Structures are given as C-alpha cells and as structure tokens.
Amino acid sequence: MRILAIGDIHGCSIALQTLLDAVKPGSDDVLITLGDYVDRGPDSKGVISILLDLEKTTQLKPLLGNHEILFIDAMSEQLDVEAWLRVGGRETLLSYAPDRTTLSWNHVSPEHMEFLNERCLRHWESDKHLFVHANANAVFPLKEQSDDWLFWTRFDDSYPHVSGKTMICGHTAQKSGIPSLRPHAICLDTWAYGEGWLTCMDVNSGEFTQANQAGQIKKFTLADLENQAGGKTTQLPLSPPN
C-alpha cells in the first residue's frame, strides 16, 4: 500500500490525468488530495469528475480547500458572487457551461456539489504524517484545528506539530514549481495553474512525480530536494511529453 498526496489542482485536469497515468494509483493505495480542485485553471468540472472516478478505484481521502469553501459559499449566497468570480470562480463556472461562455449556476452538477459538501474532509493523518490543506496550529490536535489554520494560514507560519508528525500541505503556491521543505513540513502546492507543476508525493518512499498541462512529467526524490536545498547542483529530470 502506498500513501500518495497530491497538491493543489486548481482546474488543471490535463495535468491531473497525466500525473495519474504516471503514478497509477490502485485499490490498495491511499490517495490524499490536498484541496483546491476548483478555480483559476480551465477545467474544474473535469477535475471533480476525475475525483469521483478515483473514489471507486482508490482509497481516496479528498481534503477540502479554501477555494471549495468559496465555491460552496458563493453558491449558497453566503459570499458575494463577484468576489468569488475575481479569484478564479469565473473559470469554474465556465468549465460547467456547455458553450464555455455562459456563467450560470444552473449548469453546475448537483453530484459535484454533493461531493464537495458531504465527502471532502477537513484533514487526515497517518502514523507519521498530518495532511491538511493549508496549515495546522502546532499546539492543537487536528480535531481541534480552526478553519483559519486549516484552510487559510500560509505555509510560512508553520511550526513543528506537538504530535511529532510531519505535516503535508498545499495552499501556499511555490512558484518555483518545486515543493518547499522544512524539517517538520512539506508544501506540495507547486503552482499547477500557473507556470509550475502538479505534484504527487509518495510519502513513505520520498518519491515525487510532477506533471503539467503540456503533458510533461518530472520525477525526483526527497534526497534530490534536500541536496538542492543544501546548495548541491542536483538537476530534477524532465521526461518527454506523453
């Protein structure tokens, strides 16, 4: 059994499918998606459809991200819709529009909203790792974390957790396209919707696989990243497009 974590997807369905084709998660694998499936990228609808399929073929643990919260709150009129549209909501609604031009709640799939409302998790943990969307307050167990910490606090404000476990998170975009390492935490948001990559980490082996919207793949290890952080000139290999 592998424990696989995937960073913020943000509507990048091509990168997600390319990544899944490379990693090939199966029924014995626990797959944690760290939230922010929607907004900014071109195909939020396609991303959620892929997640629904993964529920049937893997042990999927889909975490809620702050952009899912914005989507849900805008749809239920708890948030000004225009505010959400300005931070990526426009792209989300367009992904549901049959003509890709018309903004309308009527096109949003009830099945997708049920998934976001009912089956996405606030957090998840294994024997050695904590999985959250944004961050975790170092002095409280996961079940006592506030929404502000779990969904909105940046990676810069992370500290070693009282549990002694390593935190795996997303939310804070690493525009270098490379996961950010700290002794107690790893951030896997590598700017998939921008000019970066979508990252999957096998947390037990320390192996990383990345994909982008151009269909390219990169693979490297935790040791490679640690060498790079230490000033060594390790090159992260780029595979040719599929």
pLDDT, mean of residues 217-221:
97
Question: Which domains does the chain show, CATH number per domain?
Answer: 3-239 (3.60.21.10)
Tell me, what DSSP letter sits at residue 145?
A: -
Contact 197, 10 (CB under 8 A): no
Contact 7, 209 (CB under 8 A): no
Contact 205, 5 (CB under 8 A): no
Instruction: Report residue 240's pLDDT band, with 50, 70 and 90 as the boundaries.
Output: very low
pLDDT tens, position by position, 91-134: 999 999 999 999 999 999 999 999 999 999 999 999 999 999 99
What's the pLDDT at 115? 98
- 131-158 burial, b if ≥16 CB within 10 A, otherwise e? bbbbbbbbeeebeebeeebbbebebeeb
Distance, CA of 27 to CA of 34 (rounded, Å): 19
pLDDT at 235 over 90: no
Instruction: Report residue 230's pLDDT band, with 50, 70 and 90 as the boundaries.
Output: confident
What's the pLDDT at 50? 98
pLDDT tens, position by position, 183-218: 999 999 999 999 999 999 999 999 999 999 999 999
pLDDT, mean of residues 10-35:
98
pLDDT at 239 over 60: no
pLDDT at 232 over 70: no
pLDDT tens, position by position, 37-80: 999 999 999 999 999 999 999 999 999 999 999 999 999 999 99
